[in-house]
Amino acid sequence: MKIRFVFTLALIAAAASAGLAEATPRQLGDLGFSPRPIEKVSCDNRGDDKQARCMESCDEAWIKATQAYNGNIDKAKVDKKACEAKCGC
């Protein structure tokens, strides 16, 4: 009787450790998601430098053009791209 009890406990312990080993992720992708690569931004739109002030003026022009009644969105997009290119972005 004691031998069966010890054998049963050994089987339960082995099954539990095997289940735990399967549940432990080996890599970050095993958790069910994959991390996105970090995108490098070449345009500085924060701070007090020249590029940030230039981008701020582009953003203000974009907002003004898109909020205008009967505004031309296609022209505003082209103007924004040109302004960003002028700023170096």
What does the block give as tokens for 25?
């992720």
pLDDT tops 60 at residue 24: no
pLDDT tops 80 at residue 2: yes
Specify the higher pLDDT residue, 63 or 34.
63
Give the DSSP per-residue string, the chain.
Answer: -HHHHHHHHHHHHHHHHHHHHHHS-SSGGGGT--PPPPPPP----SSSSHHHHHHHHHHHHHHHHHHSTT--HHHHHHHHHHHHHHHT-
Domain residue extents for the chain: 45-89
pTM of the model: 0.45
What pLDDT digit, counting tens, does each position of 49-69 carry?
Answer: 788 888 888 989 888 888 888
What CA–CA distance (Å, rounded) separates 70 from 59? 19
- Tell me which range, 8-12, 22-26, 34-38, 85-89, is most confidently predicted by mean pLDDT: 85-89
